[in-house]
């Protein structure tokens, strides 16, 4: 059985690299090719030999030319390149360069022996080269971009004579000015980079024909401080990404060590960033993200996409950098505010996953061509490109238009008696002739239940047989909905966030997504995200669980609850589809209430 799940990361097309590879960034060149630069090396991240390479594709990323050097492997470290295409077609590549060939820099002696940091790829000079032949060759000369010294530089061990920095954000053009993001670093200590903040390097006389020596660069925002974490946040504010809204406002999103994504709007082209805030969904809930790259892109249709990880891993150590699998994607649309345009964000959907939970994907880029969407990413060892079905994205952008989902509905029960005939659920894992097959299937149970009192132990749904195989959904001690799935050999369980089963009419749904092997609780159309009480709102189940078929009939409801409706789907629904179900149920309830009046 083939794996056709577009979200499975290994279904993407591999992009050439050496061993370590990072930040595959691509632009559409004037000759129609996709030109990509990435940071690569035969060692691991940060080792000597790390350098910038370039290649190209003319078939939507299926095949790529052999990589060629922008900077050679036998030179000083060259790292973290981003591209910008100027009017006329000239390509510019911006990156870190250890031009002084330092072999160590100073760091916190409590963390680094002797106070010496041997990794030198995030300091030195920020430079660029250009190409006039669609990335086939690059200028022999590299050009330094001056970085204005600010407070964070003055406080580093070199008092700003050597600057610490790096960049992952895409460069962009607006009204003839080039903007290149940069994360400034104050020092190397516990958690490596700390503290840090964001700035924009701006060139108002940027074009694709003038000699680069004539470019004049300034650093924004004005003043002595860059873009930092919101009030109450920690010292980390890094990897800023930008989008320009339809009214000319700049939007920035960036990572922190607070388990949350941060964002800010500038109404004066990056000169100031009033009141950075924690990033939120359209309904006001916080959007959770670890110390991992989160990216925002403006699409050609004027709508937005946001790459993030939807979990609250925080801190400075390994835990803070974890949780990069699966990748989630949210959709954004503009709306008006008293200060100007802002973006309203949908709930996320799983975009990419790897079977190994320890493998994380990041540092992506987005390409559009002919109404098709493609995203690049890397796990730091293999870079890939993936096509995203346009239907998947339209569901994100048009979430308010969805209604009751019928696709994949294999069983439905409407309040009549206390039992439901069970449909046959899809297999989750099959072993046949000593061959193991992880079926990329899944199922979804969506229940509408009226709760008088969320009494612990109350059964909402029970399809278990005498041996315990099947599904149990019940109310837990903390007013959450718990699910247990079993094949009588393996048993897995998870629950919704605490306190989600309040009295009243509730939509209680569980997505069993057998691609990433996740149980995703969705209560009243809202996917659980931990709510600040736990790192993950979704949980992984046993890889070897063969399925969840149990008794022929399921017991529906008991105690101080009243189940109104049960829907069972033979596939893992999108969260957007469950939002449609919830909207449908609420609208029907309102209509019935109006009739009674």
Query: In CATH, what number is assigned to the domain containing residue 429?
Result: 2.60.120.200
* Residue 496 is assigned to a structural domain of this protein: yes
DSSP conformation letters of 502-548: -SEEEEEEEEEETTTTEEEEEETTEE---TTTSS-SSEE--TT----
Tell me: do 55 and 71 sit in the same domain: yes
pLDDT given for residue 595 in this prediction: 47
Contact 121, 97 (CB under 8 A): no
Domain of 279, in residue numbers = 9-401
**Whole-model pTM over 0.75:** yes
> Distance (Å, rounded) from C-alpha 326 to C-alpha 541?
14
> Distance (Å, rounded) from C-alpha 307 to C-alpha 331?
9
* Residue 435 is assigned to a structural domain of this protein: yes
Identify the domain boundary among 356, 373, 401: 401
Tokens of 132: 């006039």
Identify the domain boundary among 382, 401, 420: 401
Tell me: do 443 and 349 sit in the same domain: no
CB-CB neighbours of 249 under 10 Å? 20
The percentage of residues in the chain with a pLDDT greater than 70, rounded to a whole number, is 97
State mean pLDDT over 175-200: 97
Query: Does residue 431 carry a pLDDT above 70?
Result: no
> Distance (Å, rounded) from C-alpha 245 to C-alpha 561?
47
Tell me: do 333 and 238 sit in the same domain: yes
Question: What does the pLDDT look like over 392-430, one tens digit per residue?
Answer: 999 999 877 778 999 999 999 998 678 999 999 999 987
Angstrom CA distances, 542 to 473, 493, 528, 596, stand at 18, 9, 20, 47
Query: Does residue 532 carry a pLDDT above 50?
Result: yes
Q: Hey, which residues does 586 pair with through a beta bridge?
A: none
* Residue 486 is assigned to a structural domain of this protein: yes
Contact 179, 171 (CB under 8 A): yes
* Residue 3 is assigned to a structural domain of this protein: no
> Distance (Å, rounded) from C-alpha 218 to C-alpha 231?
27
Query: Does residue 216 carry a pLDDT above 80?
Result: yes
Tell me: do 307 and 417 sit in the same domain: no
Angstrom CA distances, 411 to 405, 424, 511, 553, 554, stand at 12, 9, 15, 12, 11
Of the listed ranges 145-159, 309-323, 374-388, the one predicted with least confidence: 309-323
3-state helix, strand, coil in the chain (%, to 5): 10, 40, 50
> Distance (Å, rounded) from C-alpha 57 to C-alpha 190?
41
Tell me: do 531 and 429 sit in the same domain: yes
* CATH code (residue 275): 2.120.10.10
Tell me: do 374 and 492 sit in the same domain: no
pLDDT given for residue 320 in this prediction: 77
What b/e sequence results for 291-324 when a residue is b if at least 16 CB atoms lie within 10 Å of its CB, and e otherwise?
bbbbbbbbbeeebbbbbbbbbbbbbbeeebbbbb
The percentage of residues in the chain with a pLDDT greater than 90, rounded to a whole number, is 91
Tell me: do 430 and 300 sit in the same domain: no
Query: Does residue 120 carry a pLDDT above 90?
Result: yes
> Distance (Å, rounded) from C-alpha 457 to C-alpha 27?
56
Query: Does residue 316 carry a pLDDT above 90?
Result: no
Contact 405, 576 (CB under 8 A): no
Tokens of 32: 């129609």
- Written in H, E and C, the secondary structure of 489-515 is CCEEEEECCCCCCCCEEEEEEEEEECC
pLDDT class of 284 with cuts at 50, 70, 90: very high
> Distance (Å, rounded) from C-alpha 436 to C-alpha 90?
51
Q: In which residue are the tokens 């600010």 written?
A: 150
Query: Does residue 593 carry a pLDDT above 80?
Result: no
* Residue 4 is assigned to a structural domain of this protein: no
Of the listed ranges 243-252, 292-301, 303-312, 427-436, the one predicted with least confidence: 427-436
Of the listed ranges 118-122, 317-321, 466-470, the one predicted with least confidence: 317-321
Contact 236, 255 (CB under 8 A): yes
* Residue 1 is assigned to a structural domain of this protein: no
pLDDT class of 592 with cuts at 50, 70, 90: low
> Distance (Å, rounded) from C-alpha 541 to C-alpha 548?
12
Tell me: do 415 and 397 sit in the same domain: no
Question: What does the pLDDT look like over 323-376, one tens digit per residue?
Answer: 999 999 999 999 999 999 999 999 999 999 999 999 999 999 999 999 999 999
* Residue 375 is assigned to a structural domain of this protein: yes
Alpha helices in 322-456 (DSSP H): 390-397
Tell me: do 221 and 359 sit in the same domain: yes
> Distance (Å, rounded) from C-alpha 375 to C-alpha 327?
12
> Distance (Å, rounded) from C-alpha 368 to C-alpha 160?
40
Question: How many structural domains are present in the chain?
Answer: 2
pLDDT given for residue 591 in this prediction: 63
pLDDT given for residue 280 in this prediction: 98
Instruction: Work out the mean pLDDT of the chain and round it to a whole number.
Output: 95
Identify the domain boundary among 368, 401, 434: 401
pLDDT given for residue 418 in this prediction: 87
Query: Does residue 76 carry a pLDDT above 80?
Result: yes
* Residue 561 is assigned to a structural domain of this protein: yes
End-to-end CA distance of the chain: 55
Length of the chain: 597
Tell me: do 425 and 304 sit in the same domain: no
Query: Does residue 520 carry a pLDDT above 70?
Result: yes
Phi-psi region of 460 (alpha: psi -120 to 50; beta: other; left: phi over 0): alpha
Query: Does residue 189 carry a pLDDT above 50?
Result: yes
Tell me: do 154 and 127 sit in the same domain: yes
Query: Does residue 580 carry a pLDDT above 80?
Result: yes
Tell me: do 19 and 60 sit in the same domain: yes
């Amino acid at each position: 059985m083939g794996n056709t799940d577009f979200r499975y990361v290994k279904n993407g097309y591999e992009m050439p690299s050496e061993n370590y590879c990072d930040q595959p960034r691509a632009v559409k060149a004037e000759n129609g090719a996709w030109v990509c630069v990435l940071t690569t090396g035969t060692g691991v991240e940060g080792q000597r030999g790390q350098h910038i390479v370039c290649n190209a594709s003319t078939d939507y990323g299926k095949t790529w030319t052999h990589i060629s050097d922008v900077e050679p492997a036998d030179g000083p470290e060259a790292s973290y390149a981003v591209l910008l295409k100027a009017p006329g077609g000239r390509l510019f590549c911006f990156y870190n360069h250890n031009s002084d060939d330092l072999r160590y820099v100073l760091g916190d002696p409590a963390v680094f022996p002797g106070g010496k940091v041997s990794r030198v790829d995030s300091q030195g000079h920020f430079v660029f080269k250009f190409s006039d032949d669609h990335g086939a060759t690059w200028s022999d000369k590299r050009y330094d971009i001056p970085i204005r010294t600010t407070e964070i530089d003055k406080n580093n061990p070199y008092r700003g004579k050597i600057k610490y920095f790096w960049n992952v954000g895409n460069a962009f053009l607006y009204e003839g000015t080039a903007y290149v993001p940069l994360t400034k670093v104050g020092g190397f200590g516990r958690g490596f980079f700390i503290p840090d903040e964001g700035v924009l390097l701006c060139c108002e006389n940027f074009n694709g024909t003038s000699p680069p020596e004539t470019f004049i660069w300034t650093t924004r925002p004005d003043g002595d401080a860059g873009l930092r974490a919101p009030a109450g946040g920690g010292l980390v504010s890094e990897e800023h990404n930008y989008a320009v809204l339809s009214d000319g406002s700049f939007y920035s999103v960036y990572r922190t060590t607070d388990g949350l994504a941060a964002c800010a709007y500038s109404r004066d082209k990056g000169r100031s960033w009033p009141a950075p805030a924690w990033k939120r969904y359209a309904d006001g809930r916080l959007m959770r993200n670890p110390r991992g790259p989160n990216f925002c892109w403006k699409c050609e249709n004027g709508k937005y996409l946001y790459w993030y990880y939807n979990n609250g891993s925080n801190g400075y150590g390994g835990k803070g950098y974890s949780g990069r699998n699966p990748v989630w994607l949210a959709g954004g649309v503009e709306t008006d505010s008293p200060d100007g345009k802002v973006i309203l964000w949908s709930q996320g959907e799983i975009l990419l996953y790897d079977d190994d939970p320890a493998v994380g994907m990041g540092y992506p880029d987005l390409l559009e061509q002919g109404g098709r969407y493609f995203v690049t990413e890397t796990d730091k060892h293999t870079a890939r490109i993936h096509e995203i079905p346009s239907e998947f994205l339209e569901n994100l952008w048009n979430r308010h238009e969805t209604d009751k989902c019928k696709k994949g509905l294999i069983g439905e029960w409407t309040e009549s008696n206390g039992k439901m005939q069970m449909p046959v659920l899809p297999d989750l894992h099959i072993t046949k002739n000593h061959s193991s097959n992880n079926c990329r299937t899944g199922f979804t149970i969506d229940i509408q239940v009226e709760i008088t009192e969320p009494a612990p132990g109350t059964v909402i749904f029970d399809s278990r047989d005498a041996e315990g195989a099947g599904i149990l959904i019940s109310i837990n001690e903390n007013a959450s909905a718990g699910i247990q799935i079993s094949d009588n050999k393996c048993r897995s369980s998870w629950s919704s966030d605490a306190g989600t089963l309040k009295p009243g009419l509730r939509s209680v749904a569980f997505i069993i997504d057998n691609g990433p092997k996740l149980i995703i609780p969705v209560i009243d159309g809202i996917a659980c995200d931990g709510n600040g009480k736990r790192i993950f709102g979704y949980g992984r189940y046993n890889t070897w669980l063969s399925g969840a078929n149990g008794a022929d009939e399921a017991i529906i409801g008991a105690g101080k609850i009243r189940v109104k409706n049960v829907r069972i789907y033979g596939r893992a629904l999108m969260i957007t589809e469950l939002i449609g179900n919830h909207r449908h149920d609420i609208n029907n309830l309102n209509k019935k209430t109006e009739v009674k009046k």
